[in-house]
């Protein structure tokens, strides 16, 4: 193996740059050149690639975003578009491809892998932490910390004014981010798409907290909740109770910022494991974190397996809110 290509695809997140650095430097240690593909699948189809070396990844481990840029590329679902990507890789004599992506991008990777004989390994990333086959996707830890820091500030004003705040976090249609954030900031309530929302029960819980002497309340709302977005839920709460809730939507700050130490280390581990997998002759595999260890699993698990929201964390969030 002489030359591998690397790309980052889909919504960006902190942790991509440490992983890119790890891939480039691990490959160099093995005498392999890394070609960086710009702008994810789109750049691969449009043949935008540049060689990378040890210096081109210097100092990037502490940077948010991705030095390779990223994009969403729905056209990659079409076989002829993937064929163009495969032809570009062949033309540059690429011996293996590493794809850092979420479940959509990794589905594209699976489909490309079925279409070509090129060895291909996936690396999971997304602040939603919803990639199947792995307990952890890069970016999640940093996003949790970013949201917690923001909500700690919201708590200050909520307490001063004895108010109820609804804080909406990302997660697409899964509640992993909301749940972990709610636990870490001691929220009085958490609404996730996996559990049907009962506004009456939520109001009763907020009342219990108030009766127990709490002066402020925070409810963390996952985007994609069945009861609507945070503004719609606030309106429903106001209609059912004496509350006059305030709403804060955290938005894209959750996708940016310097990666946490945990995401830097995990990015390093995933990057090295992916290069090692190519060297071992593996293909169509996902580098995964399972039971605290870095392992290889079938790539298709990334988008075929649905991860369960940890029931024990839901229970803990409820107990600690009292
Ligand atoms: O998957 C990451 C994520 O930030 C989700 O939490 C969010 O729903 C989505 O991407 C937004 O994607 P885009 O920036 O493409 O609209």
| Residue 128 annotated among the catalytic residues of the structure | yes
Q: How many whole angstroms from 172 Cα to the centroid of ligand 1?
A: 6
Q: What is the pLDDT of residue 131?
A: 98
The residue contributing the CA closest to ligand 1 atom 9 is 172
The ligand 1 atom at the shortest distance from the C-alpha of residue 170 is 6
**pLDDT confidence of 6, banded at 50, 70, 90?**
very high
Query: How far is it, in rounded angstroms, from Cα 183 to Cα 160?
Result: 22
Taking only the tens place, the pLDDT of each residue in 54-82 is 999 999 999 999 999 999 999 999 999 99
* Beta-ladder partners of 35: 5, 51
Q: What is the pLDDT of residue 322?
A: 83
What the block records as the tokens of 66 is: 């991705």
Q: What is the pLDDT of residue 95?
A: 98
Q: What is the mean pLDDT of residues 89-108?
A: 98
Mutation probe of ligand 1 site: the residue of 170, 256, 303 with most atoms within 8 A of C-beta:
170
Query: How far is it, in rounded angstroms, from Cα 49 to Cα 286?
Result: 23
* pTM for this predicted structure: 0.98
Q: What is the pLDDT of residue 119?
A: 98
Q: What percentage of the chain carries pLDDT values higher than 90?
A: 99
Taking only the tens place, the pLDDT of each residue in 156-172 is 999 999 999 999 999 99
The ligand 1 atom at the shortest distance from the C-alpha of residue 102 is 1
Query: How far is it, in rounded angstroms, from Cα 143 to Cα 298?
Result: 26
Q: What is the pLDDT of residue 156?
A: 98
Residues with CB under 6 A from ligand 1: 11, 72, 102, 126-128, 170-172, 223, 255
Q: How many whole angstroms from 11 Cα to the centroid of ligand 1?
A: 6
Q: What is the pLDDT of residue 45?
A: 98
Selection from 276, 270, 257 nearest residue 302 by Cα? 270
Taking only the tens place, the pLDDT of each residue in 21-48 is 999 999 999 999 999 999 999 999 999 9
The ligand 1 atom at the shortest distance from the C-alpha of residue 173 is 8
Mutation probe of ligand 1 site: the residue of 10, 11, 107, 223 with most atoms within 8 A of C-beta:
11
| Cα four-point dihedral sign 216, 222, 224, 227 | negative
Taking only the tens place, the pLDDT of each residue in 252-304 is 999 999 999 999 999 999 999 999 999 999 999 999 999 999 999 999 999 99
Q: What is the pLDDT of residue 171?
A: 98
């Amino acid at each position: 193996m002489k030359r591998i290509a690397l790309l980052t695809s889909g919504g960006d997140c902190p942790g991509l740059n440490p992983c890119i650095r790890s891939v480039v430097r691990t490959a160099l240690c093995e005498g392999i050149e890394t070609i960086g593909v710009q702008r994810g699948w789109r750049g691969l189809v449009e043949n935008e690639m540049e060689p990378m070396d040890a210096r081109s990844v210097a100092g990037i481990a502490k940077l948010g975003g991705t030095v390779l840029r990223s994009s969403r590329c729905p056209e990659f679902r079409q076989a002829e578009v993937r064929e163009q990507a495969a032809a570009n890789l062949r033309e540059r004599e690429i011996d293996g491809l590493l794809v850092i992506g979420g479940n959509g991008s990794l589905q594209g990777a699976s489909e490309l892998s079925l279409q070509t004989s090129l060895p291909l390994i996936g690396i999971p990333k997304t602040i939603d932490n919803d990639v199947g086959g792995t307990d952890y996707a890069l970016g999640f830890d940093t996003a949790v910390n970013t949201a917690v820091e923001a909500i700690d500030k919201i708590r200050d004003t909520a307490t001063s004014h004895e108010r109820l705040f609804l804080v909406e976090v990302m997660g697409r249609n899964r509640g992993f981010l909301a749940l972990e954030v709610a636990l870490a900031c001691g929220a009085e309530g958490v609404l996730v798409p996996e559990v049907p929302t009962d506004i009456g029960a939520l109001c009763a819980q907020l009342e219990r907290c108030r009766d127990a002497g709490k002066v402020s309340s925070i409810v963390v709302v996952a985007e994609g909740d069945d009861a609507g977005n945070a503004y719609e839920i606030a309106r429903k709460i106001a209609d059912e109770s004496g509350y006059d809730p305030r709403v804060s939507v955290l938005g894209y700050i959750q996708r940016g910022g310097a990666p946490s130490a945990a995401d830097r280390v995990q990015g390093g581990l995933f990057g090295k494991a992916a290069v090692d997998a190519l060297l071992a002759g593996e293909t169509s595999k996902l580098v995964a974190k399972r039971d605290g260890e870095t392992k290889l699993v079938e790539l298709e698990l990334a988008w075929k397996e649905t991860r369960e929201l940890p029931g024990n964390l839901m229970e803990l969030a409820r107990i600690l809110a009292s």
